[in-house]
Amino acid sequence: MTTVAELLAAHAWRAIPGCPGRFVLRGGPQPLEPAALVGEAPLRAFRVAAAPDQVLVAELPDGGLISYRRADGRCIHTLNTAEGFRRKLTQLGIEL
C-alpha cells in the first residue's frame, strides 16, 4: 500500500501554514483522481457541513489523503501525517 512518505517523495507538495503534518498538492484544483495517488487504498466519500465540497478520504499506513472534489470534478488533494490526518478528520466531523 502507498504511504505518506512515498507520496511526499513522488509529488510536489507544500506545507499548509499553521497545520502541522498537512500538505497540499501544488497546482491547485486538478483533474487528477485521488485513486491515482493512493492506488489500492480504499477511498470513502463524505458530505459534511464543515466543507462545501465532497470529501474523499483514504487512510494510509502512516496517515492519509483527504481530497476535496469541487462541483466541476477537479480535486484539491491534501496529504496528512497520522497526527494531521486525525486532527483534520475531527475538524470535519468524519469518523472512519
Distance (Å, whole) CA 95 – CA 55: 12
Residues 6+ apart with CB under 8 A from 10: none
pTM of the entire predicted model = 0.96
Burial of 9-22, coded b for 16+ CB within 10 Å and e otherwise, reads eeeebeebeeeebb
Beta carbons of 12 and 27 less than 8 angstroms apart = yes
Least Cα distance to 78 among 48, 45, 11, 52 occurs for 11
Average confidence (pLDDT) over 26-41: 95
pLDDT digits (tens, 9 = 90+) for 52-68: 999 999 999 999 999 99
